[in-house]
């Protein structure tokens, strides 16, 4: 028997460490001889903390475990062999549909193995692909296999991976670099974190194979500083890979040398853009460079450099090990293989879902994600974060491929999928994204620096109730100019949330402008707060919380809000314990 406790960042945030402690204590108390191991995130974040009990070929998964339940699991299941049915969310005999509808390649080991133990990785076929490459394949062979597989970059743009590797191989010189982009800037995406925390060796193996194929001896992982656990586990993995000669000189007896270092980002979204990332690696302000020359010709320290995303690298070993044809058989059209999506927002089952490309949005959101929280009405799904767009209900049958999503104006992007319901205001969300890009614009080029600011001003004007219809045309014109004239991908894609929301949710803009109403009751300036006299008990709490003292009334008598003085901060609404404050 063996026990696995999910200790990814999400598991820890949900209380996983206490669960592990409780299990360890009870196992000791009961003098059981059972291995208890930490593991990464299986992607079912909505059930965290998770505990797996593996008994021979049976596997039971417990969800929402706390210290008390953990103790019961030890005493009933581990000690007496009685699984606790009421807490089991699924077993390998009765799998959950969340699992059944997925196809795991990049995440195959996440949540299954102990990421801090290299032996567990090698016991599931880890580093076999590297052995195959080093003993039987030429550099061209590897690139040819990548070409057959049809793997495309998972970091956003979807550029064919083999092409970049080939360009880097063809660039002369002996000093070349493999860079892994683990900056994961899209707020709402966390699959790269999951791979780094849950299966770090898979990333390393992909990078080593890439190094071999393009003739590089140095790898660098640029990881965002907000992921301390990922950095820690990657460091452990690198150390272990060196001890086992998967990294270092004469790897596995070949004449190939390769080593990997980690550089920590310092919190700047633009550093996810590859040329800005290179500037940041060199210790400078992360301002993008003009392309061409492309990094494949002149990148890190002006040497040929290949940059790939974490998830891209995480597919490489699988492709070599299982054969590229098998990978290419999955997917639709020119979008091969699987893609991991991070489901979040107003969705029932938020977490990571790895799906074969070509599945429809509806299948992902309703089939895997279980639909909308609280059974409210679906309004939109946001794909690709600040570079992507919002799609409405009638586009839900769009297949998830680079081509199909591209046609809608949204993008596959890094795989963030934020679901919104009827209580989410699209204009507010669009404003949120522009605040983000405006803040994160590095300031180098004028269109991005000034253009995003101007668009944000217009959106502010609209959400404050001062918009006029001409604003919409100006917004659209500005968006198109910023898209055309910005230097890097940040500015070129920043208008996407504006353009898609204008295209699919124009009526919401119109409601804000013409009727001075926010249909989802989010834009506070357009709301009025009123106290329902029947429900008000006169507890005076709201009057005390009101920052401008605009709530009048005496104790135990219904209160009233003086509308002229109200600044619409919403404090009374959130503090009232009797739901007596109503929004109109």
Partner 1 sequence: MCNNCNSDEMINNFVDEEIDLSPLKPVIEKYGQVKGSLINILQATQDIYGYLPLRALNYVADNTPNKKSTIYGVATFYTQFRLKPIGKFLILQCQGTACHVNGSKEVSQAICEELKIKPGDTTTDGLFTIEDVNCLGCCSLAPVMMINGEAYGNLTPSEAVNIIRNLAKEADK
Ligand X SMILES: Cc1cc2nc3c(=O)[nH]c(=O)nc-3n(C[C@H](O)[C@H](O)[C@H](O)COP(=O)(O)O)c2cc1C
Q: Which residues bind ligand FES (CB under 6 A)?
A: 187-188
- Burial of residue 138 (CB within 10 Å: 0-12, 13-18, 19+) is exposed
Alpha helices in 307-364 (DSSP H): 310-322, 324-328, 361-362
Instruction: Considering only the C-alpha atoms of the chain, give the largest distance between any 2 of them, rounded to a whole number of Å.
Output: 86
Residue 267 binding: pick among ligand FES, partner 1, ligand X, none (C-beta 5-8 Å cut-off by kind): partner 1
Q: Give the pair of three-digit tokens for residue 301.
A: 């320290």
Q: How far is the CB of 206 from partner 1 (least distance, A)?
A: 21
Q: How far is the CB of 236 from ligand X (least distance, A)?
A: 22
Q: How far is the CB of 334 from partner 1 (least distance, A)?
A: 28
Residue corresponding to tokens 């360009």:
167
Nearest to 270 by CA among 430, 386, 390: 386
Residue 33, helix vs strand vs coil: coil
* Sites of contact with partner 1 (CB under 8 A): 9-10, 12-14, 45-46, 48, 184-190, 193, 225-228, 263-269, 280-286, 301, 342-346, 350-351, 382, 385, 416, 418, 420, 424, 429, 432-433, 436, 442, 569-571, 574
Q: Give the pair of three-digit tokens for residue 45.
A: 């974040």
Nearest to 180 by CA among 232, 220, 153, 217: 220
Query: What is the C-alpha to C-alpha distance for residues 243 and 232, in angstroms, rounded to an integer?
Result: 17
Residue 312 binding: pick among ligand X, ligand FES, partner 1, none (C-beta 5-8 Å cut-off by kind): ligand X
Query: What is the C-alpha to C-alpha distance for residues 428 and 518, in angstroms, rounded to an integer?
Result: 9
Q: Give the pair of three-digit tokens for residue 423.
A: 């209580």
Query: What is the C-alpha to C-alpha distance for residues 107 and 87, in angstroms, rounded to an integer?
Result: 25
Q: Which is nearer to ligand FES, 160 or 187 (CB)?
A: 187
Residue corresponding to tokens 């596997």:
59
Alpha helices in 441-580 (DSSP H): 446-463, 470-485, 489-493, 496-504, 506-514, 541-545, 571-575
Find how far residue 541's CA is from the centre of its chain.
Answer: 40
Residue 488 binding: pick among ligand X, partner 1, ligand FES, none (C-beta 5-8 Å cut-off by kind): ligand X
Contact 545, 565 (CB under 8 A): no
Q: How far is the CB of 46 from ligand FES (least distance, A)?
A: 14
Query: What is the 8-class DSSP label of residue 100?
Result: H
Q: How far is the CB of 100 from ligand X (least distance, A)?
A: 28
Q: Which is nearer to ligand FES, 13 or 35 (CB)?
A: 13
Find how far residue 307's CA is from the centre of its chain.
Answer: 19
Task: Kindly give the pairing relationship between strand 551-552 and strand 560-561.
Answer: antiparallel
Query: What is the C-alpha to C-alpha distance for residues 305 and 290, in angstroms, rounded to an integer?
Result: 15
Q: Which is nearer to ligand X, 371 or 389 (CB)?
A: 389
Q: Give the pair of three-digit tokens for residue 342.
A: 């991070």
Residue nearest to ligand FES as judged by C-beta position: 187
DSSP string over 427-442? HHHHHHHHHHHHHH--
Contact 519, 511 (CB under 8 A): yes
Q: How far is the CB of 188 from ligand FES (least distance, A)?
A: 5
Q: How far is the CB of 65 from ligand FES (least distance, A)?
A: 22
Query: What is the C-alpha to C-alpha distance for residues 444 and 486, in angstroms, rounded to an integer?
Result: 9
Query: What is the C-alpha to C-alpha distance for residues 378 and 361, in angstroms, rounded to an integer?
Result: 12
Q: Which is nearer to partner 1, 253 or 283 (CB)?
A: 283
Q: How far is the CB of 318 from ligand X (least distance, A)?
A: 15
Nearest to 262 by CA among 203, 214, 185, 210: 203
Nearest to 179 by CA among 278, 106, 248: 278
Q: Which is nearer to partner 1, 46 or 162 (CB)?
A: 46
Contact 331, 103 (CB under 8 A): no
Residue 280 binding: pick among ligand X, ligand FES, partner 1, none (C-beta 5-8 Å cut-off by kind): partner 1
Residue 366 binding: pick among ligand X, ligand FES, partner 1, none (C-beta 5-8 Å cut-off by kind): none
Q: How far is the CB of 192 from partner 1 (least distance, A)?
A: 9
* Sites of contact with ligand X (CB under 6 A): 153-157, 159, 181, 183-185, 270, 272-274, 307-309, 312, 414, 488-490
């Amino acid at each position: 028997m063996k026990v696995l406790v999910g200790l990814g960042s999400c598991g820890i945030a949900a209380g996983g460490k206490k669960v592990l402690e409780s299990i360890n204590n009870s196992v000791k108390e009961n003098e059981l001889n059972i291995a208890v191991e930490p593991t990464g995130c299986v992607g079912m974040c909505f059930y965290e903390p998770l505990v797996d009990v593996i008994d021979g070929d049976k596997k039971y998964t417990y969800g929402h475990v706390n210290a008390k339940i953990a103790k019961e699991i030890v005493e009933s299941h581990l000690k007496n062999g009685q699984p606790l049915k009421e807490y089991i969310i699924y077993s390998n005999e009765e799998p959950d549909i969340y699992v059944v509808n997925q196809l795991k390649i990049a995440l195959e080991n996440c949540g299954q193995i102990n990421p801090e133990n290299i032996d567990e990785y090698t016991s599931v076929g880890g580093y076999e692909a590297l052995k195959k490459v080093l003993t039987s394949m030429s550099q061209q062979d590897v690139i040819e296999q990548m070409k057959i597989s049809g793997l495309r970059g998972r970091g956003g743009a979807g550029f064919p991976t083999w092409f970049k590797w080939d360009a880097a191989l063809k660039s002369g010189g002996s000093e070349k670099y493999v860079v892994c982009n683990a900056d994961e800037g899209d707020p709402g995406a966390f699959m790269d974190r999951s791979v780094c925390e849950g299966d770090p060796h898979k990333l390393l193996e992909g990078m080593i194979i890439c190094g071999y194929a393009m003739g590089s001896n140095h790898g660098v992982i640029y990881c965002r500083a907000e992921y301390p656990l990922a950095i820690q586990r990657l460091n452990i993995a690198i150390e272990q890979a060196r001890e086992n000669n998967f990294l270092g000189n004469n790897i596995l007896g070949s004449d190939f040398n390769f080593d990997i270092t980690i550089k920590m980002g310092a919190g700047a979204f633009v550093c996810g853009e590859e040329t800005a990332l290179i500037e940041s690696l060199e210790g400078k302000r992360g301002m993008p460079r003009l392309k061409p020359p492309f990094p494949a010709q002149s990148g890190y320290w002006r040497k040929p450099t290949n940059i790939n995303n974490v998830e891209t690298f995480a597919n490489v070993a699988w492709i070599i090990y299982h054969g590229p044809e098998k990978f290419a058989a999955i997917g639709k059209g020119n979008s091969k293989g699987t893609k991991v999506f991070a489901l979040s927002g107003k969705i029932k089952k938020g977490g990571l879902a790895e799906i074969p490309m070509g599945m429809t949005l509806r299948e992902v959101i309703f089939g895997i994600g279980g639909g909308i929280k609280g059974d409210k009405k679906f309004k939109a799904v946001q794909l690709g974060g600040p570079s992507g767009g919002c799609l409405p209900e009638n586009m839900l049958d769009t297949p998830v491929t680079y081509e199909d999503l591209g046609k809608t104006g949204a993008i596959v992007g890094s795989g963030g999928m934020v679901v919104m319901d009827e209580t989410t205001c699209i204009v507010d969300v669009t404003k949120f994204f522009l605040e983000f890009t405006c803040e994160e614009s590095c300031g180098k080029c004028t269109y991005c620096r000034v253009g995003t600011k101007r668009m944000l001003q217009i959106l502010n004007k609209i959400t404050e109730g001062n918009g006029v219809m001409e604003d919409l045309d100006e917004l659209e014109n500005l968006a198109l100019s910023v898209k055309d004239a910005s230097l890097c991908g940040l500015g070129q894609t920043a208008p996407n949330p504006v353009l898609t929301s204008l295209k699919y949710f124009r009526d919401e803009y119109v409601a804000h402008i013409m009727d001075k109403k926010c249909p989802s009751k989010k834009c506070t300036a357009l709301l009025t707060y009123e106290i329902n006299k029947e429900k008000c008990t006169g507890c005076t709490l709201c009057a005390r919380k009101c920052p401008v003292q605009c709530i009048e009334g005496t104790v135990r008598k219904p209160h009233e809000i003086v509308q002229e003085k109200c600044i619409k901060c919403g404090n009374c609404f959130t503090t009232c314990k009797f739901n007596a404050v109503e929004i109109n």
